[in-house]
Amino acid sequence: MDACDRCGILTRMQPDGTVRIEVERSILQSADEAAAAIRALLSGRKIYALNLISSPGSGKTTLIEALLARFDGKGGVAVVEGDIETEIDAERIRKHGVQVRQINTHSACHIQPFRLLSVLREMDLSETRLLLVENVGNLVCPAEVSLGEDSRVVLLSVTEGDEKPLKYPLVFKTSDLLVITKTDLLPYVTFDVDRVRRAARAANPSVEIFEVSATTGAGMPALLDRIEALRAAKTA
């Protein structure tokens, strides 16, 4: 290994006359830099941020609505909705009287951190203590990119099947909270909650797992309490 006489970087001449440059850099470096900028923006303002990831229809928007009901009047909540097209989710959230922005990714399958960063810079976050980012419904690509969030939440509804952590391990490995949703439907579907728990723990031993039904309200208080505690720890 020789150091380049111009820049000092480690290089090596190959037999074919090309020069090998050793870089060892993350492929997602520019995305990681945008995520770091988001993290700094949120830390400076003491805002606690959640990145909500799931398949389409698992209950991300419903969880946001439950959080809005819980945090109503307890300090500002801001919401960023990510969808490939339409403002449907933003309009649904706007009815609750909170600040909401919609990111339409068009062909892209997840929110890119630089898009989120520019949206956050346009928002008035002076009163915000909790930021809820709803990613595009997809278990693959959103897992690959950090949005600078404090906690990543993956939702899995019981109608999707209990093999999801085995099929989409990265999202379960990188999530801090796993929320198993629609548990009121467990009598009607084949879904082994313990199998999901074991697989999720293998992917991430420190994952916190919640079982909820927004329809009956079962399990929701424990989840909302935990998110409130996490927010309080960040914003204290």
Partner 1 sequence: MHELGVAGGILDVALSEAARHASKKVTSIRLRVGVLRAIEPENLSFLFGHLARGTPAEGALLEIVEEPIRVDCPACGVSEARAFTFECPRCNGSGVSVTGGDSLSILSLDVDV
* CB nearer partner 1, residue 27 or residue 236: 27
Residues in a beta bridge with 155:
54, 179
Compute how many other C-beta atoms are within 10 angstroms of the C-beta atom of residue 83. 21
* CB nearer partner 1, residue 52 or residue 141: 141
Q: Is 42 exposed, middle or buried (0-12, 13-18, 19+ CB in 10 A)?
A: buried
Among 35, 199, 224, 227, binds partner 1 (CB under 8 A): 199
* CB nearer partner 1, residue 20 or residue 95: 20
Q: Is 143 exposed, middle or buried (0-12, 13-18, 19+ CB in 10 A)?
A: buried
Q: Tokens 């991430």 belong to which residue? A: 204
* CB nearer partner 1, residue 73 or residue 205: 205
Minimum CB–partner distance for residue 119 and partner 1 (Å): 18
Confirm or reject binding of residue 166 to partner 1 (CB under 8 A).
Answer: yes
Q: Tokens 């919401």 belong to which residue? A: 79
Residues in a beta bridge with 48:
130
Site for partner 1 in 201-220 (CB under 8 A): 201-205
Minimum CB–partner distance for residue 21 and partner 1 (Å): 5
Minimum CB–partner distance for residue 15 and partner 1 (Å): 11
Minimum CB–partner distance for residue 127 and partner 1 (Å): 34
Q: Is 229 exposed, middle or buried (0-12, 13-18, 19+ CB in 10 A)?
A: exposed
Task: Give the CA dihedral 131, 40, 206, 180, nearest 10 degrees.
Answer: 20
Q: Is 144 exposed, middle or buried (0-12, 13-18, 19+ CB in 10 A)?
A: middle
* CB nearer partner 1, residue 23 or residue 236: 23
CA distances from 52 to 15, 18, 90, 114, 236 (A): 50, 46, 15, 17, 23
Among 8, 17, 73, 187, binds partner 1 (CB under 8 A): 17
Site for partner 1 in 32-71 (CB under 8 A): none
x/- mask, partner 1, residues 125-164, rule CB under 8 A, reads ---------------xx--xx-------------------
Confirm or reject binding of residue 85 to partner 1 (CB under 8 A).
Answer: no
Confirm or reject binding of residue 119 to partner 1 (CB under 8 A).
Answer: no
Binding site for partner 1 (CB under 8 A): 4, 6-7, 9, 11, 14, 17-31, 108-109, 112, 140-141, 144-145, 165-166, 169-170, 173-174, 198-199, 201-205
